[in-house]
Chain A
Amino acid sequence: MAHLRLEHVGLDFHVRTHGRISLKEYILKGMFRTRSSTSTVVRALDDISLDFGEGDRVGIIGHNGAGKSTLLKVLAGIYEPTHGQRAVEGKIASLFDITLGFEPEASGWENIAFRSYFQGETPRTLKSKMEAIAEFSELGDFLNMPVRYYSAGMCVRLAFSIATAIETEILIVDEVLSAGDLAFQHKARKRIEELLARARVVVLVSHDLGSVAALCERVIWMDHGHIRLQGPPAQVIAAYQAMATAGERLAA
């Protein structure tokens, strides 16, 4: 059974307005017991309770900075909630910022290996997947070159091909529906659909409301770190769009 649950989860970020604290500052602060004025607390998520079970396909929408990606990172276990509880059953795989984290000096082949190992593959399980990943990326001989020489589009192709080759129970996806050029996007879209069909729980964030409506059975609308509305895609997306256009009309 794959299961993912958040109970009254909150997350506070301590944002330092002047970058990292220096040792001098830290010692002085300790010595004089003064409060550091350079740090402010931002509540990124507030009292979120969610329950995802077997077969759930959930989309998260909302404007920029509403807490969508933060919520995904809490779900994936990258951010520990500062309040509340998170409970997981099943293997989680996440696709975030997929172009990040290539070793630039290593070849495409080697990068396929690291990424897959990081996702828990072993040399034995990887062997069979390597060819499939390479073929899907359509990068051919470029895979022998260091990734440093790749264009941004090639990186996206490679990253997407690796990331979507994983077998998982819970899949958490952040904005990867628009990967690469037009021809690749079509392929990628199909791949994502296959992946969604295989995973038992899927949570995805997208600004592409059409895709969300097509891929999900339940939609959550995030607003300022709260859940504004959740329910069937048609209803929630309509409410979100009404809100967005109302804002425009108000501005005009």
Chain B
Amino acid sequence: MQRQIASDYLAEIWRLRYFWMSLVRVDLRSKYRRSILGIGWSLMHPIFMTIVFCSVFATLFGLDIRTYAPFLLVGLAFWNYVSGVAHQGCQCFIVGEPYIRQQSAPIAIYPLRTTLACGFHFLIALVVAILLSFVLGGVHHLPALVYLVPALVLIFLFGWCLALLCGVLNVLFQDTQHVIEILLQVLFYLTPIMYPADMLAKRRIGWVAACNPLAGLVEMLRKPILEGAAPSAASVAMVLALVTVGLLVCAWTLARMQRRLVFYL
């Protein structure tokens, strides 16, 4: 019975695919409509951050730029995605309000729109990071890139859940967006984005990364790209647990909110 409802819901999302896909296209295009660099801007942020962090941290901690730069670029690409999904996810239903009031459709398509637009920028940044790591370290990690496929699927699902939950919470409580802003700031420093995870282990606070599923997600990207290896079982398990819980919470939320969201807008 519940399985039937879930598959009907997904089928309905798929039926409306041309709708949300064209909205994503507009989002991407309108963002850069009157800018000279166009899509290049989505690269500028992580690249400049990388340059800044590299010049600061490489000298401060004595890290080797040749390994640190691609390491950081992957981390920042991931982080921009997470923070973009969370921030824009807060607004997803408010932006989609005219559609929600017009016709009944699965509300999950609005966070999906956000996630796909952020995901597009993430992929571009990730490709640059991969190219950079090849330029600096050679192409012998190429075969390991197949490990990125499951990683990207999980990152997409995680983003969709995050955007949906942020969006629903923000409709119910408008302070969500401010809370999210603070949480993201804190999480940025708790997640091994700027620093390697083993730096925490050396200071005997390795549990900070070990309990953080976001750290697992970053590792699933970094291991194949930077080391040409499969991600550790522990981090994959943590990420799978995160995404499973996320999907369950979203299913529960959708069951409660699909019909009621319109009353809160």
Q: Are A94 and B103 in contact (CB under 8 A)?
A: yes
Q: Are B19 and A20 in contact (CB under 8 A)?
A: no
Q: Are B101 and A100 in contact (CB under 8 A)?
A: yes
> Is B23 in the interface zone, CB < 8 Å from A?
yes
Q: Are B18 and A26 in contact (CB under 8 A)?
A: no
- The distance in angstroms between the C-alpha atoms of A35 and B85, with both chains bound, is 35
Q: Are A80 and B18 in contact (CB under 8 A)?
A: no
Contact with A along B113-141 (1 / 0, CB 8 A): 00000000000000000000000000000
- The distance in angstroms between the C-alpha atoms of A96 and B262, with both chains bound, is 15
* A-contacting residues, B208-232, CB 8 Å: none
Given known A-B contacts A23-B176, A110-B22, A118-B16, A78 and B104 have beta carbons under 8 A apart? yes
Report the nearest B residue to A101, measured CB to CB. Answer: B98
DSSP majority for the B interface? Answer: helix
* A-contacting residues, B222-265, CB 8 Å: 259-260, 262-264
Q: B residues within 8 A CB of A85?
A: none
Min C-beta distance of B18 to chain A, whole Å: 4
Question: Which of B71-79, B167-175, B197-205 contacts its partner?
Answer: B167-175
Given known A-B contacts A114-B19, A121-B18, A105 and B30 have beta carbons under 8 A apart? yes
Min C-beta distance of B28 to chain A, whole Å: 11
Q: B residues within 8 A CB of A80?
A: 259-260
Given known A-B contacts A21-B173, A22-B173, A22-B174, A118 and B99 have beta carbons under 8 A apart? yes
* B-contacting residues, A4-59, CB 8 Å: 13-14, 20-24, 26
Report the nearest A residue to B34, measured CB to CB. Answer: A105
Q: Are B175 and A22 in contact (CB under 8 A)?
A: yes
* A-contacting residues, B40-76, CB 8 Å: none
Min C-beta distance of A89 to chain B, whole Å: 16
Q: B residues within 8 A CB of A24?
A: 175
Determine which residue in B22, B171, B175 has the highest number of CB atoms from chain A within 10 A of its CB, and name it: B22
- The distance in angstroms between the C-alpha atoms of A13 and B260, with both chains bound, is 11
Q: Are B103 and A78 in contact (CB under 8 A)?
A: yes
> Is B26 in the interface zone, CB < 8 Å from A?
yes
Given known A-B contacts A20-B173, A23-B173, A118 and B105 have beta carbons under 8 A apart? yes
Q: Are B19 and A117 in contact (CB under 8 A)?
A: yes
Q: B residues within 8 A CB of A110?
A: 22, 26
Contact with B along A75-104 (1 / 0, CB 8 A): 011111000000000000010110011010
**Considering the complex of A and B, which 6 residue pairs feature the smallest CB-CB distances, nearest first?**
A101-B98, A105-B30, A80-B259, A117-B19, A117-B18, A100-B98
* B→A interface (CB under 8 Å): 15-16, 18-19, 22-23, 26, 29-30, 33, 98-105, 171-176, 179, 259-260, 262-264
